[in-house]
Amino acid sequence: MKANPIILIVDDEQDSTSSLQARLVAKAYEVCIATDKTQAQEKAWAQRPGLVLLGTIMPRGSAFELHEWLRHTPPFNDVPIVVIDAPPEEQLLKGWSREEGLQLESEDYLTKPVEPTSLVHLIGKLLGKVTRKIKVLVVDDHAIVRDGIRALLGVQKDMQVVGEAVDGREALEKARRLSPDMVLMDIVMPVMNGLEATKRICKECEHTKVLLLSQYDDEENALVSRQAGAYGFIPKRSASTQLLAAIRSMS
């Protein structure tokens, strides 16, 4: 059974988070709490939340800066955000400014006080609408292979190609920058081969899995793939239904 998504609550008012946290935990959600922007960013990288409740944090403007960071940083740019502003009487001190509100990209905007029960209901409703896409980086030195894989993944509702690379070195650089969920990696490539790139990605990119592809279907390739730390190995001639099933199995 698939676990409920992690909820990240960002708010520096403990009284407004403790009751909500208890209600969410009772609904089998895992909850993590941050009280400032830096802590929220650290917890986002570590926990990979499925939804963010963005409340009030100081100094004023930090919540909007975090909002912008989430919206422009893979893999968080498609995570649902619910903004919970300060009460009207406190908005001049720690609430969102009018200019920030005009740039808001969130699924909902609320003002304190918010009834925890209604918020739990809203969270369930939002998560029910979300199909989190598996973000894929395609790595092959042949354009025709990359184009074929991109076309295959492009018609899958639960997958998104976030980038392409032509060799292992470029794959490593883009894996660091784009934080894909999955890298589809050819083994034989110039500059840096797929095995070496896989070792380094598995070491440096904790949440990224690598699926190695090769035109040769043999035990040796399967063995060296496992030794490199790859999530799996698939021969290119089988790269259709088998490939899609392997990508979906990691989520």
Q: Is the pLDDT of residue 166 over 80?
A: yes
pLDDT at 139: 96
Distance of CA 62 to the CA centre of its chain: 22
What per-residue confidence (pLDDT) applies to 131?
59
Q: What is the dihedral of CA 195, 198, 199, 203, to 10 degrees?
A: 180
Instruction: Please state the pTM of the whole predicted model.
Output: 0.66
Give me the chain's average pLDDT, please.
Answer: 89
Asked if pLDDT for residue 1 goes beyond 50, the answer is: no
Per residue in 192-244, pLDDT (tens digit) is 999 999 999 999 998 899 999 877 666 777 788 888 889 888 887 665 778 88
What are the chain's domains?
6-129 (3.40.50.2300), 134-248 (3.40.50.2300)
Both tokens assigned to 162: 């976030």
Phi and psi, residue 8, nearest 5°: -100, 120
